[in-house]
Amino acid sequence: MEKKIKLSQAVIVEGKYDKIKLSNILDAFIIETNGFGIFKDKEKLSFIKRLASERGIIILTDSDHAGFMIRNYISSGVPKEQIINVYIPDIFGKEKRKTEPSKEGKLGVEGMSSQVILRALDRAGVTSAKILCENPVTTVDFYDLGLTGGVGSKAKRKALCSALDLPEFLSVGSLISCINNAMTKEDFYILCNNIL
């Protein structure tokens, strides 16, 4: 058995199968939102906010619309500097325990391989040193490259997300944050020249 990665932050996931999956990879305090149950569970939300202020939180939800709704709900009540967002890629398929795929056909956290989850954690700077960008990628760079504010910008961002193994629903701000955690501005421009 491989050694688990020890994290000081609490990890927020949607359900018990996600928690089971991550428990095999991480030595961390893992909290389930019980899916949309978090919207009605004020005590759990208050507990998550307290954990965020005490130790920081890592949000690792599915890459479908529901996962982003849960992520955004939690993020709206927690200061930005207390959150690390980890995004799994859009991988289509069905979890082994289910009889059919999810509504959007994407695998959730529980369906990801350990390697994919570890890459996502690494890309967010959780398991490796973050790249300190003295000259970070900005919205101006996105505009200059046609990734925002123009015809076809959405399709270009989708291609960029695909190349980076990130979900298609990322906002421009979240995508820029992921890029700045994973690479230098020079590497970003090289990547864009190759895929756009």
Q: Which stretch of 18-22, 67-71, 118-122 has the lowest confidence by average pLDDT? A: 118-122
pLDDT tens column, 118-161: 999 988 888 765 555 678 999 999 999 999 999 999 999 999 99
Q: What pLDDT is stored for residue 2 in this prediction?
A: 65
Q: Are residues 119 and 150 in the same domain?
A: no
Evaluated on CA atoms 62, 65, 70, 71, the torsion sign reads positive
* Residue 87 is assigned to a structural domain of this protein: yes
Q: What is the domain-level CATH number for residue 73?
A: 3.40.1360.10
Does the structure show a pLDDT above 90 at 15? yes
Q: Are residues 46 and 88 in the same domain?
A: yes
Q: Are residues 33 and 113 in the same domain?
A: yes
The pLDDT value given to residue 71: 96
Do both 88 and 40 map to the same domain?
yes
The yes-or-no verdict on residue 66 having pLDDT over 80 is yes
- Shared domain for 116 and 83, answered yes or no, is yes
Q: Is residue 128 part of a domain?
A: no
pLDDT band at 101 (very low <50, low <70, confident <90, very high): confident
CA distances from 94 to 102, 103, 104, 108 (A): 7, 10, 10, 9
Among 154, 173, 176, CA closest to 164: 176
The predicted model gives 105-114 an average pLDDT of 94
The verdict on 74 and 156 lying in the same domain is no
C-alpha dihedral, 139 to 161 to 174 to 185, nearest 10°: -50
What would the two tokens of residue 195 be? 């895929």
Q: Is residue 134 part of a domain?
A: no
117 and 25 share one domain: yes
pTM metric for this prediction: 0.82
Average pLDDT over the chain reads 91
Q: How many domains does the chain have?
A: 2
Residue 130 within any structural domain of the chain: no
Q: Has residue 46 got a pLDDT over 60?
A: yes
Task: Please report whether residue 129 resides in a domain.
Answer: no
Rounded Cα distance, 34 and 39, in Å: 10
**Kind and range of the H or E run holding 179:** helix 172-182
Q: What is the pLDDT of residue 170?
A: 87
Pairing mode, strands 83-85 and 10-13? unpaired
Measured from the Cβ of residue 104, the count of other Cβ atoms closer than 10 Å reads: 15
Q: Do both 99 and 172 map to the same domain?
A: no
24 and 85 assigned to the same domain: yes
What is the rounded distance in angstroms from the CA atom of residue 63 to the CA atom of residue 178?
15
- Residues of the domain holding 78: 5-123
77 compared with 57, residue with greater pLDDT: 57
* Residue that is last in its domain, among 77, 96, 123: 123
Q: Do residues 86 and 21 both lie within one domain?
A: yes
21-50 mean pLDDT? 95
pLDDT grade for 7, boundaries at 50, 70 and 90: very high
